[in-house]
Structure 1
Amino acid sequence: MSVLVSPLDLAADLERGSADRTVVLDVRWRLGGPPGRAEHAAGHVPGAVFVDLDTELAAPPGTGGRHPLPEPSRLQEVLRRAGVSEGSRVVAYDHADGSVAARAWWLLRWAGLPADRVAVLDGGWAAWREEGLPVSTEEPAPEPGDVVVRPGAMPVLDADAAAALARSGVLLDARAGERYRGEVEPVDPRAGHIPGARSAPSAGNVGHDGRWQEPGDLAERFRELGVEPGSGPEAVGAYCGSGVTASSLVLALEYAGLTAPEKPAALYAGSWSDWSTDPDRPAATGPDAG
């Protein structure tokens, strides 16, 4: 299974069914709301289980930023409740562009699930509806899974490592350009970016229809930002506000063929919400990677 799956392919897979069935996770979430759970109740992909970003795909805010990585035991509990087993295929979806679903994709990979068994729905809920596919309001009750979370399968940066990578390699900032430049900061204590980081808004991963750009187009975008083919975690990493949308850059780099499943880009999980709380860490502003 590719890192992306189309709505029609997912629908066919769900219709077909199998012993190692596909588990669908609804991770719709918006900064500031409304709650995704209410939208899930109003309609979702049949059989999809809602998973909450704030409480189930992250630890409580504090040391490590607004969305720290969850405790492995907690993540295992959440995934088993959703029906994820050792042989499951898992597809996550959000509203449209995959920027939130990618957090689930990244966590599943971090937890040790094989790369060929985890994907994001291309175009998300919006694309599913556009295709006229079935919608359910029934709350699923899957048989509990038996997945074992083995954390550490994806590379993670702390603040010092992110600062070093910005100097020695390519550190990509997934936030909107105005936040990178320090013109606005609606959430975190200080405005600006990590010195040396390069602006790569996650919105650039998708086209006007909310579906992902072609791999070649993504590869050209990231090459212009200095990412070389065959890069690994020692050469390229990503951050954002709190480690959510940056996950979509990790996915995009793999989809573009610039990184490989066995050598993915690194993620600064604490991201700007962690960096900006330390007054001793510098905050660069302006359009340049400085």
Structure 2
Amino acid sequence: MSIRKRIEEARALQAAGYHEAALILASVAVAGASRLTYPRTDIPGDGQAFKTYLDRRILETTTHGPITPGGAFLVLSYKGKEQSIAAILYHEYRCNLVHEAELPSGVSIGGEDRGLSFTVADDILVLTEGWIRLLIDVVINDPALRDTFDDIRRRHPDDLTYVGGIAEEHYANEFVDEFYSSAGRLSIIKTFVATVGAEGLAQLDDSEIQELWDEEVLKDPGRFGLSESCLTGLSFPGPQVQGPDVEGRAFLYRAGKSGSARISDAGIKMLRSVSNHYR
């Protein structure tokens, strides 16, 4: 399918540092995917189909929760207008690159920050390359394209089979209590385990897990079912932990003030627990 080819090309271009070209190809894939969900009989305009689809899929991808129709993950005020991030990506980036072959002065994408960050000030609009990865991620993990991307799509917790000795609900409650976590964090960790493979993960020692995280996961979190919001959530323990007790309880920790998110000792134990209870 051509959507698959566009995604493969976008990933290759991003890996090579061609961010604008990667954004164009990722946008083409989003446009194609949007028409699978919203045919012209439902939404005649291509731009509206693109924005409606992207707003919904970004919410589904980043929040792992129920979606309010018409909602948006992020709204920015730019040039006197309030626009969703989907509208920004469409009008300010996609349309300018496709129709003008360049971005306007003050508008750019890339930089050293690989997360989901942005800068908006007067006529300045800068998005980090994490937004390109997110565009790619929302298409790869679209349920309507499950067969197209089955070999690289984000795995779902339901892809795992529970093999623990106690009831699964009981295990989940014990996990939350033991690791000062939450049901949402457990779901994110299960998604990661399902993507890597529980059996393979169980065979890695602690240093190999950390190496996998540093060398592969942080370079492309979306491939492992992790959005930037997931990483942020895993950097904090559950809501039952307050004050100084937060230290060392979370799945991730930041190495230095602006360092990358590394797996903590507690995080290693969480992965061991999940990989021992699921296949």
TM over 0.5: no
Structure-2-length-normalised TM-score: 0.26
Larger Rg: 2
Larger RCO, structure (CA 8 Å, separation 6 or more): 1
